[in-house]
Structure 1
Amino acid sequence: MNKRAAIYLRVSTKEQTTDNQRLALVEVAEHAGWQVVEVYEDHGISGAKGRDKRPQLDAMLKDATRRKFDVVMAWSVDRLGRSLQDLVGSLADLRSSNVDLFLHQQALDTTTPAGKAMFGMLSVFAEFERSMIVERVNAGLARARKTGTKTGRAFGRPTLKPATVDRIRRSLNEGLSIRKTAEATGVSPATVMKFRP
């Protein structure tokens, strides 16, 4: 079966060019018999920035969940991310969508059996990271209980003052939007949504 490929390109500064990355990856795709259906390019954006600051990476990962392609091609692992947390998150998103990954510089190709085994190892790291986060949250809650710090239901966040809750309810009843109410009361839109009538 002919695989549909997406290419992800990134350079850190406006002065750099993605041309070399693009040419090499298109050549690999042609050699493998893959059809390049989309090219995503974040130009002048550091790899240290998260997915929320890299619009084309975000679009590519969303399209992966929609199965718009079968394999993502990138020049190198550091094109996808420099932070382990962001990198593992992106790779886990691809894996859960059954989208393969090709990294030119690392010679990683998860369309092959050896590459699939490597992808499996990535899920082990992702699970390890999740368990570490849970462990830290639980330790923080235990410390808060031990020291008598009052916490809300959501992972040690402080409970809202009754006056703030009244202001939220009043704003919503007056017809203010969730976003405007959040700004006026200094809480997040998600918090305001809990008090919708």
Structure 2
Amino acid sequence: MMKAVIYTRVSSTTERQNTERQVADLKAYAEYRKLEIAGVFEEKISGAKKNSERPILVEALEYCEANSIDILLVSELSRLGRNAFEVLEVVKRLVDNKINLFMQKEQFTLLDENKQPSTFAPIMIATLSTCAQLERENIKFRLNSGRAQYIAKGGKLGRRTGSVKTIEQKKEEYKEIIALLKKGYSIRNIASLCKVGNSTVQRIKKEFKI
């Protein structure tokens, strides 16, 4: 049975977004293809971050290489980089290590049965990643334009007064995570046990200097 790894990412580091839907959909695909899921890597980090600043993505790729994983499953190509160059760098790394890639949104698989990229794979990857990059830039432009108009009309950006959580509130909200960190549990295990993203655990660890 071929081994698969799931990598998911959402941009928000708050609890407003989660990776549950991505994981569920990719698990369903793995079950349909009779793939053994060797690992699930979930990341909450801005899509504007460089791949070198995405610790879970880096960990997922290293895990695939170290454990002879056959295929990496992602919800869409844009999960693999903030621009076309970074996406292509990841794709080349996968090809060099004979690791296939499945993109659910695009319904596209990188390698053929002989673990070679299909004839049109490089063109498809370059086109799709460029389109994703342009879409992000258009969204960014519209957001910045909207903010500028809002400020011009007298609006104020930032948190409302009193909306920032105190240290004591955070200690209470994240007491289970803090307790597990102090016991020496790994970030991934804590994230799984507490049903939060790895980035949340990393943030609490850093904030409380555990």
> What is the TM-score with the length of structure 1 in the denominator?
0.56
Shift of 1:34: 0.4
Distance 1:106 1:116 in 2: 15
Distance 1:26 1:103 in 2: 13
Task: State the aligned residue count.
Answer: 123
Identical aligned residues as a percent: 25
Q: Report the CA distance shift for 1:84/1:111 in structure 2 as closer, same or farther (over 3 A).
A: closer
Given that 1:6 and 1:72 are in contact with CA atoms closer than 8 Å, whether structure 2 keeps it comes out as yes
Q: Report the CA distance shift for 1:111/1:30 in structure 2 as closer, same or farther (over 3 A).
A: farther
Which shows bigger deviation, 67-76 or 28-37?
Answer: 67-76
Distance 1:73 1:62 in 2: 15
Distance 2:26 2:126 in 1: 28
- In structure 2, the residue matched to 1:103 is 103
Instruction: Quote the RMSD (CA, aligned, Å).
Output: 2.4
- Whether 2:11 is the aligned partner of 1:12: answer yes
SS at match of 2:98: coil
Distance 1:79 1:104 in 2: 11
Q: Report the CA distance shift for 1:66/1:92 in structure 2 as closer, same or farther (over 3 A).
A: same
> What is the TM-score with the length of structure 2 in the denominator?
0.53
Shift of 1:115: 6.5
Q: For residue 11 of structure 2, what is the amino acid of its counterpart?
A: S
- In structure 1, the residue matched to 2:90 is 90
Alpha-carbon displacement from aligned partner over 1:126-158 (angstroms, at most 9, x marks no partner): xxxxxxxxxxxxxxxxxxxxxxxxxxxxxxxxx
Given that 2:51 and 2:82 are in contact with CA atoms closer than 8 Å, whether structure 1 keeps it comes out as no
SS at match of 1:116: coil
Shift of 1:82: 2.6
Shift of 1:68: 3.5
SS at match of 2:118: helix
Distance 1:98 1:67 in 2: 12
Given that 1:10 and 1:41 are in contact with CA atoms closer than 8 Å, whether structure 2 keeps it comes out as yes
